[in-house]
Structure formats: C-alpha cells, structure tokens
Chains A and B, each alone.
Chain A
Amino acid sequence: MNKFQYPTYESSHEQKHRKRLNLQSWILTAPAMLWLLFFFLLPYLIVVIYSFLTPDIYDIKFELSLESYRQIFNGDYLRPFLISFRMAFITTVMCILLGYPVAYFIARSSEKLRSTLLVMIIIPFWTNLIIRIFSWRIFLASNGVLNDTLMSLHLIKAPLEIMRTDLAVGLVMVYVYLPYMILPLYSVIEKIDFTLLNAAMDLGASEVKAFFRVTLPLSLTGIFAGSILVFIPALGAYLITQLVGNQRSLYIGQVITYKIKNIPRNWPMASALSLTLLFLVTVLLAGAYFLWLRNKQRRRGESD
C-alpha cells in the first residue's frame, strides 16, 4: 500500500485557474441551461399548477381543486394506463427479441459492412414519422398491399382486419422504436471482447451456454438502455395509437390529448394525467435502477 500522500493544497495560481475553469464551464453550459429553464422547467411548472385548478369549458378557472387527482385515484383512468403500459411492455420485449440478433450481427460483421448496416438502421429517421405511419396504414388496410398480396396468392379468402386493432398498434410501435433498441445494444455488444466466448467454449460451454453466461450478461447494460429508450416513448405514444389504433381501447396519450382537444376542455385533468404518467415512469425507472444496483452489489458480495 502506498502510504505516502502528497499534501493537498492549492497555490493561489491554481485557485485562480480553478475559478476560471468554473466560470468557463458556467458560460459554456448557460445557453443549454437557459433553454431548459424556459422551455422545459417553466412549462412543466405551468402543468403542475394547472393540475390543481378547476376546468372551464374552454379554459381554466383559477380556483384550487383536487378533483382531477381524486378521479385518478378513484381509478377512473385505470384502463388507459393499463393498456398503455401493456403495449409499451410488449413493444419493449419485442424490440429486445428482434433487435438483439440484429445488433449482434452488425457488431460482429466486418467494419465495412458494419457502417452500411448502421446507416440502414438510421435511414428511417430521415422520413417524417406521420408519413411512415401512413405507409403502414396503406400496407395493412383491408384493401391494402398485404391483404391484396395474400388474396392474390389465395392464401386467404377474406381480407385480414389488422388496421385499427391493437395488433396494428403493436406492429407499428415495434417498427418505429426498434432502432432505439438496436443502437444502444449495438454499441455495447460491439465492445464485448469476443475471445471471452472462446474462453467460455474452452472451459466446456457450448455456443448456446457461452451466449447465455457471457455475451448476454455483458450486454445487459445495452438492453437496459434500449428498454428505457423504447419503453418511455412507447408509453406516451399518441400518433401511432391515433392513426392505426381503434377508439374502443384508448391509450393514455390519446386520453390526455382528448382532454385538451375536445370541448368541454379539461386542462387540469390533462395536466394531472401527464404528471401521473411522469410519476409512474419515474418510480419505475428508479425501481429498475435500484434493482440493478442491488443485483450488482449482491454479486460483488457472493464470493463464497
């Protein structure tokens, strides 16, 4: 052990230098900070305030009220929440299952092929989301590309009713959010030292066992990051559910929008629902992070 320690003091020159660095970093981050303050924090504050006010037909009345929260706690909006969470969960799982092999394949392909494949993953982002969703509508419609093809091949007699079902929502969700899963997964898998797989196989593990004991545990951080990137936007998705979903099962994003769009408007309800969603996501993330940390600590502890 190194017992010797250098005395820690700063010369006045060093202090000045440190102060200047501090000032510099403040100046450099100020634009972003101000941006966030005015366009994120303040609007959110308005949302918080609104959620405690009373609705009016078009606007709000400045009278304090807990009515919105009462209704939420009463369970009046349980169904859209459940539907949304279920769909976000399914989307995330599907994205992991579909995205992992793709990310793995890209990470293990030659450098030249790799960049081509990555560009192909990113290309969909260059097209507007609404246009992409509409193209799915054309594809899935009862007289759309899919049904026409299947009918002309005589595989089906009547068109499949996929449009305006939860299946359609799921398909489009996975399509839209898959790149958000693939990219973080790729960046983690790419860094895995593949001689570790050789080592595992050398020690008696078949390819499958080596994957589950080495590759998969080492890519967990990627799965975690990708899941967050997919789950949260999927939870609040509005465009997809609105454009390919049906009106019988309303997702939470739709409910919030309707509260503002339809008259009589209910700004406080919309605000309260948004904040509840935010709260649930935060709790979920914190929980996941906590589990992650504890798991890590437990593994560090189990030496014997």
Chain B
Amino acid sequence: MEEIKLEHLTKDFGGFRAVDNVSLTVRSGELFSFLGPSGCGKTTLLRMIAGFEIPNTGRIFVGNEDITDLPPYKRPVNTIFQNYSLFPHMNLYDNVAFGLRIKKESKAVIRTKVRDMLALVKMEDQAGKYPDQISGGQKQRIAIARALINDPKVLLLDEPLAALDLKLRQHMLIELMNIHDAVGITFIYVTHDQSEAMSISDRVAVMNRGEFIQEGPPDDIYERPNSVFSAYFIGETNLITGEVIDVEDEYAQIRCDSGDGEFFDIDSTFKFKPNPGQKLTLSLRPEKIAISRHKPHHQEDINVIKGVIEDILYLGSHTQYIVNVGKLKVRVFSQHKRVYFDDKALDWEEPVWLFWHDTDTWLINELPESNGFEHDLTTDSTTHRQVRRANQA
C-alpha cells in the first residue's frame, strides 16, 4: 500500500486546458474523490493516473515509483470504467480471469483467485453468464472483481454508479465502501454527484475548470467552504453578499443589503482574516435556519431576520420555504417535527422570523462570480406557486 502523489499536473487538449497545475497527495488506503461538474477535468485527471492520457507537464508517483511515462498496462493501478467495459465475447469467469491470463498465471491459481473474487462481489453462481445477460449492478460488480483480481495498488473509479438507478446506486455505494474496507487499497473515485462523494469519501477534492478548488474531509468542505464554488456546488446554500462592519475574536459582523433600502446585520464565523469595509459572501445552509411566526425569546449568539414567505415546496422529508427578505430570497429547509413552535402550518405570504446560530453562518472571502446561481431556484418556485394558486382557486 502506497500513497499517490500528483505533482503539478497539466493537460491541454488543443487550446483547452483540461487540468491546470494540480498537485495532490492521496494517502494509502484512503478513499479519495474528485468532485466537480462535467468538463471540470476530473476524468482527465483520472485517465492520466490510469495512463490513457499523458500529462503535458508534471509527474505522477505511486509510492516512490514515477509512473508518468509508463503505458497503462505497466501501471500498478486498475480502473472501473463508466460503462464497465466488460468484454462482450467472454463470460463473466473469463472477464474476471483476463488480467491473470495475461500474466500467464497457472490454471489452478486463476481458478482459486477468480472464485474468491466472484465470492467477494457475490457473483459466484453467475460465472457462466455473459455480460449481456446480467443487470447493470451485476456488471458493476464484475468490473470491480475484474480490476481487483490484479492486486492493484490503486483502484480508479470513473463515475461507477452513473449508469444505475437511484435505489441501486445507494445500495452499490454501501457495497463499494464494504469492498474498500475488505481490500484496504487506495480508491480514487470520480463523480459529479456531491451526495455520492460526501457519503463515500475519506477526503474530497472539489474541482472546477481544471483546478482544485478545495480539498478536505466531506464535512469540512460542507461546513467550511473556502469559495463560492464549493459552497454552491456541495449541497444547497444561500449566498448573501455583505460588507464587514466589525471583527471580534472569531466572529465578524456583516451588514447585508436587502435590496429595498433596508440593511440587516449578520454575525458570522470565518477561517481567514476579514477586514472592516471588505465586501464578501456569506454562506448559510438552508437546513440550519429555523423558521417561525414568533420572534425567538432567546437571542444571544443568534442571528434573527424578518421576512415574508413567498413559496412553500413540500418535499416529503422536509419542506422548503422561499422567504423574501427585502429583495433577497432565502431558502429554508424545515423538517416536519411538530414539537417546537406553533402547530399551525405556515402559509403563503405570511411574515416570519428566520433565526440561526452565529456559528452556522460561514464567511467566504470572495464575491459570487455572477448572480446566475439563484436563477434555477426562482424560476422553479414561480411555476410551482402558480400551479398551487391555480389549484386553490
């Protein structure tokens, strides 16, 4: 088991820079994810580690071995391809045995190892079938067995669950974690699905436009995003711009413009040193906000603002409220626990109080690149409201 080191990797396709000066150390045995939207360079990065792309500059190490110039078939890594790429002309047994046969292992060794591998992925009774006779989840397992049988030092997974439906995806995710625990080797996992990356990874690197935006444990990235991009891409959030008024210990007081001439102050936590007068962005997760028609009695260490409910979206496990605070729209997730506050449900156009703990506001040292972030939300909720109103009428 060895760590993987990427040093200043850059890859250009024509004039397009797919990966831009990326450096990273993946610890041995870690389950590490590259997370980003499509076209962010995560797959290119993976293909460079696998050997299918040659970096323009930079080196790749597995342990102390420089594998940058090795062809794919000489690297101590194996890949799970997005569409599994099982060999259609071989049955599952032969698919799994492929790597060992290339290495010219003896028949007895192949037989034992293939059986063990098929048992690991719970496919031992299907060995004689062909790839076109099994389901997507089963193909996935065979692809894993076919890769792991070669004892790779690193397993690369390229969007392995993208082709599966939701329930199966959740199931395979757990199975992948179990397999990772069982074999103990390093996994590098590429996905655009933040919930997948969050649930499975030891550490995540958020990527955009060929660069690493942030890397760290999932909860760290979620709770303490270092940029507007990671705050927005991981989970749901409210991004509010404001000006630093005062900084005191680990809290900063931010004055926000509600857009209709009124200002309100929010206390926030941060990781960098904000300066008074600086304009920056607040990230406020919708599930951290409490919503009520009554003003909270206890207000110490609490941010309290006032708004009007514009829209209510019932989502089963929780309800999403869109609350107008001046011209700002704040999203609030509220779970259906009727122990607190009023039992009477909140209604459209009702004035409400929003409040949350100071430590749940997080300060980001940049301004949103564009206000396009909120676009999808507003259109969605408008249509929804119109439908609701039409139904009520």
B319 at the interface (CB under 8 A from A): no
Interface contact B127-A303, CB-CB below 8 Å = yes
Give CA–CA (A300, B129) in the complex, Å: 8
**Given A195, A217, A301, which contacts B85 in the complex, CB threshold below 8 Å?**
A195
Q: Does A196 contact B (CB under 8 A)?
A: yes
**When the two chains form the complex, which single residue of A203, A302, A303 contacts B146, counting CB atoms closer than 8 Å?**
A203
B99-A299 in contact (CB<8A): no
Which residues between 204 and 241 of chain A lie within 8 Å of chain B, taking CB atoms? 204-206, 209, 213-214, 217-218
Which residues of chain A have C-beta atoms less than 8 A from B83's C-beta? 193, 195
**Is B89 located at the chain interface by the 8 A CB criterion?**
yes
* Chain B hits for A300, CB < 8 A: 91, 128, 130
- Among A196, A203, A301, A302, point to the contact of B102 (Cβ < 8 A): A203
Query: Chain B residue with minimal CB distance to A303?
Result: B128
Query: Contacting chain A: which of B72-80, B163-171, B180-188, B198-206?
Result: B72-80
Partner of B91, one of A193, A206, A303: A303
With an 8 A cutoff between CB atoms, is A250 at the interface?
no
B103 within 8 A of A: yes
Complex: A196 Cα to B52 Cα, angstroms: 13
Q: Is B71 close to A, CB under 8 A?
A: yes
Main secondary structure of the interface of A (DSSP, over half): helix
Give 1 or 0 for each of B111-136: 1 = CB within 8 Å of chain A CB: 10000000000000001111000000
In contact, B93 and A304 (Cβ under 8 angstroms): yes
Write the chain B residue with the least CB distance to A214.
B87
Interface range for A: 20 to 34
Q: Is A200 an interface residue (CB 8 A)?
A: yes
Say yes or no: B103 contacts A204, CB within 8 Å: yes
Question: Are A204 and B73 within 8 A (Cβ)?
Answer: yes
Task: Decide yes or no whether B321 CB sits under 8 A from chain A.
Answer: no
Say yes or no: A203 contacts B147, CB within 8 Å: yes
Inter-subunit contact B73/A205 (CB<8 Å): yes
Given contacts A204-B99, A301-B128, contact A199 B73 (CB under 8 A): no
Give, as a whole number of angstroms, the nearest-CB distance from A297 to chain B.
Answer: 12
Bitwise interface map of A from 178 to 207 toward B, beta carbon under 8 Å scored 1, else 0? 000000000000000101101111111110
- CA distance in complex: A218, B131 (Å): 14
Interface size class for chain B? 20 to 34
Choice from A204, A218, A301 contacting B89 with Cβ under 8 Å: A218
B98 interfacial by beta-carbon distance below 8 Å:
yes
B88 CB–A CB distance under 8 Å: yes
Q: How far is the CA of A61 from the CA of B129 in the complex (A)?
A: 62
Instruction: Decide if B150 is an interface residue (CB 8 Å cutoff).
Output: yes
CA distance A202 to B78 in the complex (A): 6
- Contact flags (1/0) for B142-185 with A, using CB distance below 8 Å? 00001100100000000000000000000000000000000000
**Docked-complex contact B85 and A193, CB < 8 angstroms:** yes
B102 cross-chain contacts in A, Cβ below 8 A: 203-205, 209, 213
In the assembled complex, which residues on chain A have CB atoms less than 8 Å from the CB atom of B92?
303
**Is residue B81 within 8 Å, beta carbon to beta carbon, of the partner chain?**
yes
B323 contacts chain A at the CB level, 8 A cutoff: no
Please measure, in the bound complex, the distance between the C-alpha atom of A205 and the C-alpha atom of B74, giving whole angstroms: 9
Interface residues of B in 2-33 (CB under 8 A from A): none
Q: Please indicate the chain A residues that have their CB under 8 angstroms from the CB of B85 in the complex.
A: 193, 195-196, 198-199
CA–CA, A13 and B83, complex, Å: 44
B231 is an interface residue with CB less than 8 A from chain A? no
CA–CA, A209 and B71, complex, Å: 14
Smallest beta-carbon distance A204→chain B, Å: 4
Distance to closest chain B CB from A188 (angstroms): 12
B50 in contact (CB, < 8 A):
yes
Q: Bound state CA distance, A195 and B43, in angstroms?
A: 14
**23 interchain pairs, CB-CB under 8 A:** A193-B83, A196-B85, A198-B72, A198-B81, A200-B87, A201-B73, A202-B77, A202-B81, A203-B73, A203-B78, A203-B99, A203-B147, A204-B99, A204-B103, A205-B102, A206-B73, A213-B98, A214-B87, A218-B88, A218-B89, A300-B91, A300-B130, A304-B127
Nearest 9 interchain pairs by C-beta: A303-B128, A199-B85, A203-B99, A201-B72, A204-B102, A303-B127, A202-B79, A201-B73, A195-B85
**What residues make up the interface of A, taking CB atoms closer than 8 Å to B?**
193, 195-196, 198-206, 209, 213-214, 217-218, 299-304
Given A202-B81, A203-B150, A217-B89, 18 other A-B residues pairs in contact with their CB atoms under 8 A: A193-B85, A195-B81, A195-B83, A202-B51, A202-B72, A202-B78, A202-B79, A203-B73, A203-B99, A203-B146, A203-B147, A204-B150, A205-B73, A213-B102, A214-B89, A303-B128, A304-B111, A304-B127
